[in-house]
Homo-oligomer: A and B are copies of this chain.
Amino acid sequence: LKREITNVKYSVNQVSTQMGNYLVCIGKDEFDIRSIGHLSGVKDIHRVNEIVKLVSRKWKTERTQIDLGDGVKVGDKNFAIMAGPCSIEGEEQIRSTVKQLVKSGVRIMRGGVYKPRSSPYSFRGMGMDGLKLFSQLCKAEGIKIITEVMQVSQVEEMHDYVDIFQVGSRNSQNFNLLDALGGIDKPVLIKRGISGSIDELLYSAEYIFSGGNEKLMLCERGIRTYERAYRNTLDLNAVPILKEKSHLPVIVDPSHGIGLRQHMEPMALAATVAGADGLLLEIHEQPEIAFSDGQQTLNYREFEQLLEKIKIIKEVL
């Protein structure tokens, strides 16, 4: 079949994922559907005149939902809260967060064990020891884990302790890492680059998908602009645009976006009504003493208030 298509001057990329086998055919001339459609083994043909193919809504019009197991789902009407500290700091902190999540009915906990830091002299996270502890305490309570992976060699070592791999904004175009994540069967959340375009985010998702993994989420986390009144320019425009261009769920991270604790609530609510499929939130029992990012972290009381307001909004809209 590949040979037949190559004959009509298209380059053919074979993609086998958890959910199907696809041939992505790229060429300049118009594709004559009749010449392919009748070949045996072809079930369906989609014409995608977009820069990306498999992650495009031109290819798949229904919305993708990611099933994390145990009834935890993200996307397509399942609005997902993913909350927790910036960095995993130790057992007590994990227990405190898990307890709060259970109390609030939140099923996904975030927390970094490998931290990308501008300065080589900063704290870089607890590593695998922290992750194992994190995993053990969460599993006991049915909480799913999302945590950042920074390099190829970590993919395998972290694999069994992670429910969602997070690709950070600095690695948004680390193509080798994207390739590696294409080869596994675990959901991946890809953050937009620090000054990444929307198209580049879609391309990065296409990398993973074309590598064989279609359990993907896109994440808006603020872009770099000239404005200095806040940390990053959380770009909520990206939410409706990404949902128009792609079938993948769109998550918003207001903590890294505006980067100011007192303004997280309005931005989180705004993201919700703008159409986000979920939120990535930094919370901490005592933000003031967090190892990192305390200034953009909610305490538990603020977190509960926010969840209450989100609930009210989701009910009426």
Distance, CA A181 to CA B263, complexed state (A)? 32
A305-317: contact bitstring with B at CB < 8 Å (1 yes, 0 no)? 0000100110111
Distance, CA A195 to CA B226, complexed state (A)? 8
A269 CB contacts on chain B under 8 angstroms: 273-274, 317
With beta carbons under 8 angstroms apart, the residue of B150, B175, B225, B230 that contacts A241 is: B230
Q: Do A116 and B175 form a contact, CB below 8 Å, given A24-B121, A237-B234?
A: yes
A239 at the interface (CB under 8 A from B): yes
A294 at the interface (CB under 8 A from B): no
A257 CB contacts on chain B under 8 angstroms: 237
A170 CB contacts on chain B under 8 angstroms: 173-175
CB pair A258–B240 under 8 Å, yes or no, is yes
Of the four ranges (under 10, 10 to 19, 20 to 34, 35 or more), the interface on chain A belongs to 35 or more
A51 CB contacts on chain B under 8 angstroms: 119
Distance, CA A223 to CA B11, complexed state (A)? 33
A60 CB contacts on chain B under 8 angstroms: none
CB pair A203–B270 under 8 Å, yes or no, is no
A28 at the interface (CB under 8 A from B): no
A197 CB contacts on chain B under 8 angstroms: 226-229
A233 CB contacts on chain B under 8 angstroms: 223, 225, 233, 235, 237
With beta carbons under 8 angstroms apart, the residue of B224, B230, B274, B316 that contacts A267 is: B274
A21 at the interface (CB under 8 A from B): no
CB pair A207–B120 under 8 Å, yes or no, is yes
Distance, CA A205 to CA B178, complexed state (A)? 25
With beta carbons under 8 angstroms apart, the residue of B116, B210, B316 that contacts A120 is: B210
List A residues 229-273 near B (Cβ within 8 Å): 229-230, 233-241, 244, 257-258, 260, 262-263, 266-267, 269-273
CB pair B267–A121 under 8 Å, yes or no, is no
A198 at the interface (CB under 8 A from B): yes
A6 at the interface (CB under 8 A from B): no
A116 CB contacts on chain B under 8 angstroms: 173, 175
Distance, CA A195 to CA B194, complexed state (A)? 7
List A residues 130-182 near B (Cβ within 8 Å): 150-153, 170-171, 173-178
Interface pairs (7), CB distance under 8 Å: A116-B175, A150-B175, A151-B176, A170-B175, A236-B267, A269-B273, A312-B317
Given contacts A194-B195, A225-B225, 11 further A-B contacts (CB under 8 A): A13-B120, A51-B119, A151-B151, A151-B177, A193-B194, A198-B229, A223-B225, A227-B237, A228-B228, A234-B236, A273-B313
